[in-house]
Amino acid sequence: MRALRVRHLFAAALAIGVVALIPSTASAHPEACATTGLFSGTPSADWFADWTAESEGCMSAAAVNGFDDSSAQLAVGEQDGTDNLTLLSHTDKKPPFETEADFNSDIAFENGYAFTGNYDGVQIYDVRDGQTPALASTIHCPGSQNDVTVNDGILVTSTDSRRTNETCQSESATDPSLPTTWEGLKIFDVRNPYSPKYLASVRTDCGSHTHTALPERDRVIIYVQSYDIGAGRFECSDAPDPLKAHDKISIVSIPKRNPNAARVVAEPVLFPDGGNDGTAGTIRTNGTTGCHDITVYQEIGLAAGACTGEGIILDIRNPVRPKVLSNIEDTNFAFWHSATFSNDGKRVLFTDELGGGSQPTCNPTVGQRRGADGIYDITDPANPRFMSYFKIPRTQTNQENCVAHNGNLIPNKKGRDIMIQSWYQGGVSVIDWTNPRKVKEIAWFDRGPFDPTRLVLGGFWSSYFYNGQIYGSEIQRGFDTFKLDDPKVKGSDKYHYDTLNAQTQTRF
């Protein structure tokens, strides 16, 4: 039986017209500018014509200059925030990860160490004192975007760029048709964080943009997400129309006692009908071309997938045979990016990465419904119900990429759904979404633009609570530590985790 498809068409109040941009396949951040949608406000005819005429998938300077950023507050070198969120420390990026092209990416934690991905490898920080991180070691292993997870000393990284081979000495591949071209997962032994060792690799179709760990007693199951299937991508599809054919994920099994034996054990098709074609309603959003991210909640047997053109709820009681229970489409969402469950598993917060993370979408022109969080009630997982949107209220300059991105729940004694979340150059934000119809921001921190003269991909990629502190991976500036002091999370420092992978959610 076909899974229920739930549609929410909120376009009427925003009806300006249809905007569709061509996905960029050459970008280091491949969802960047992949799609954009409808905006509120009344832009000039010249501005709108310029916007719709874009052929490379990204916004021109003229288009961006049409955004109203007059109420932005912070300049270069300035920072601000609420009194209850304190910046404890900042650590700059260090060689060989210090250039502007070396983007810091996601973070995973184990035994008091933070494993921070970077497009050039992984940086491992000792965060056991909770104050000032100390760099323990680095793994120089180029291959975007080096999304990371760690379990029982097994570090896994994602490679979603064509490489000449599977080693850390590989180079960018120029011919995707060669049999040596490689994308997929790399596996490291980090039981000694000061001396990491490369173990093995697993090649996966269409590479691995992100991945999700499902730990079991004797193995770690990995869900591999990939979606960037434009011209020149490697082994994404054999179908006649390559933009509609990548409908699966790869599932990898890594034996804990012998990680070298890791292999693909299943490739379930999640969208046998092709999924959202990107034309629902009166505005164009991204079509479904695979999944960007999947968050699993093994305790309740559910997963929430952010799958480019739609959100999905999965039954993962048999983790190698996930079943789609429902599909959600929302014409205010341009790019379904990630998901976080409420602590009780009855709601899920999806993020919309409008503009692929590289565009300045936090302003009155774009409005509060685009590039936002969308919260859904999944008390009945087969029938999700839309509850509300949330977007940070602070205008950012036209030189600051800003959109909803990665975060996690902060444990607390009252069981409230309080979340730290990154907004790229919009900073970090702490929200209380216990009442999903009345989301409240309770803390935030923000810096001025990284560069006042041009739009640079920067800001916070990920910000996560781990063992009493909040840690932020800042794409250009480095690694930050924060302390949240708020009555709503009193006692949160008492919750300690040996391992934390934000997309592997557990009940606190």
What percent of the chain has a predicted confidence (pLDDT) above 70?
A: 85
Residue 322 falls inside a structural domain? yes
Distance from C-alpha of 151 to C-alpha of 124, rounded to nearest angstrom: 14
Does residue 9 have a pLDDT over 60? Answer: no
Confirm if 419 and 340 have CB atoms less than 8 A apart.
yes
Beta strands at 385-390 and 323-330: parallel, antiparallel or unpaired: unpaired
Distant-in-sequence, close-in-space partners of 74: CB < 8 Å, separation ≥ 6: 80, 446, 447, 448, 449
pLDDT attached to residue 174: 81
Query: What does each C-alpha distance from 244 to 1, 271, 272, 310, 454 come to in angstroms?
Result: 21, 10, 11, 14, 34
Q: What is the pLDDT of the chain when averaged over all its residues?
A: 87
Q: Kindly indicate the confidence band of residue 312, based on its pLDDT and cuts at 50, 70 and 90.
A: very high
Confirm if 336 and 307 have CB atoms less than 8 A apart.
yes
Residue 415 falls inside a structural domain? yes
pLDDT attached to residue 231: 67
What percent of the chain has a predicted confidence (pLDDT) above 90?
A: 75
pLDDT attached to residue 254: 98
Q: Which residue has the higher pLDDT, 12 or 67?
A: 67
Residue 507 falls inside a structural domain? no
> How confident is the model over 394-411, as a mean pLDDT?
97
Number of domains in the chain: 1
DSSP string computed for 79-116: EEE-TTEEEEEEEE--TTS-STTS-EEEEEEETTEEEE
> How confident is the model over 321-346, as a mean pLDDT?
96
Paired residues of 480 in beta bridges: 90, 472
pLDDT attached to residue 63: 75
Does residue 173 have a pLDDT over 70? Answer: yes
- What digits encode the pLDDT tens for the residues 186-218? 999 999 999 999 999 999 999 999 999 999 999
- What digits encode the pLDDT tens for the residues 76-116? 999 999 999 999 999 999 999 999 999 999 999 999 999 99
Beta strands at 460-466 and 85-92: parallel, antiparallel or unpaired: unpaired
- What digits encode the pLDDT tens for the residues 412-446? 999 999 999 999 999 999 999 999 999 999 999 99
Residue 417 falls inside a structural domain? yes
In this structure, what token pair is assigned to residue 497?
Answer: 């985790």
pLDDT attached to residue 115: 98
Q: Residue 85: give its domain's CATH number.
A: 2.130.10.10
Residue 434 falls inside a structural domain? yes
Q: Is 251 left (phi over 0), alpha (psi -120 to 50) or beta?
A: beta
Beta strands at 154-163 and 182-189: parallel, antiparallel or unpaired: antiparallel
Q: Residue 293: helix, strand or coil by DSSP?
A: strand
Q: Residue 451: helix, strand or coil by DSSP?
A: coil
pLDDT attached to residue 178: 84
> Is the dihedral angle over the CA atoms 355, 357, 360, 364 positive or is it negative?
positive
Q: Kindly indicate the confidence band of residue 304, based on its pLDDT and cuts at 50, 70 and 90.
A: very high
Does residue 47 have a pLDDT over 80? Answer: no
Does residue 16 have a pLDDT over 70? Answer: no
pLDDT attached to residue 258: 98
pLDDT attached to residue 2: 36
- What digits encode the pLDDT tens for the residues 240-293? 555 557 899 999 999 999 999 999 999 999 999 989 988 765 455 788 989 999
pLDDT attached to residue 6: 56
- What digits encode the pLDDT tens for the residues 440-477? 999 999 999 999 999 999 999 999 999 999 999 999 99
> How confident is the model over 156-181, as a mean pLDDT?
91
Confirm if 421 and 405 have CB atoms less than 8 A apart.
yes
Distance from C-alpha of 358 to C-alpha of 56, rounded to nearest angstrom: 14
Residue 508 falls inside a structural domain? no
Does residue 1 have a pLDDT over 50? Answer: no
Does residue 59 have a pLDDT over 90? Answer: no
Q: Residue 411: helix, strand or coil by DSSP?
A: coil
Residue 506 falls inside a structural domain? no
Q: Kindly indicate the confidence band of residue 35, based on its pLDDT and cuts at 50, 70 and 90.
A: very low
Distance from C-alpha of 201 to C-alpha of 182, rounded to nearest angstrom: 10
pLDDT attached to residue 29: 58
Max alpha carbon distance in the chain (Å)? 63
State how far Cα 441 lies from the chain centre.
Answer: 20
Strands annotated E in 333-468: 336-341, 347-352, 373-377, 385-390, 407-409, 418-422, 428-432, 440-447, 460-466
Q: Which of 419, 261, 450, 283 is nearest to 347 (CA)?
A: 419
In this structure, what token pair is assigned to residue 209?
Answer: 């943009």
Confirm if 455 and 64 have CB atoms less than 8 A apart.
yes
Residue 31 falls inside a structural domain? yes
pLDDT attached to residue 282: 46
> How confident is the model over 40-55, as a mean pLDDT?
35
* Residues of the domain holding 38: 4-500
In this structure, what token pair is assigned to residue 123?
Answer: 């940086």
For the chain, helix (H) and strand (E) counts, in that order, are 2, 31
What value, to the nearest 5°, has the Cα angle with vertex 80 and ends 75 and 85? 155
Does residue 49 have a pLDDT over 80? Answer: no
Q: Which of 438, 459, 462 is nearest to 450 (CA)?
A: 459
Cα Rg, the chain, nearest whole Å = 21
> How confident is the model over 400-414, as a mean pLDDT?
96
Does residue 123 have a pLDDT over 90? Answer: yes
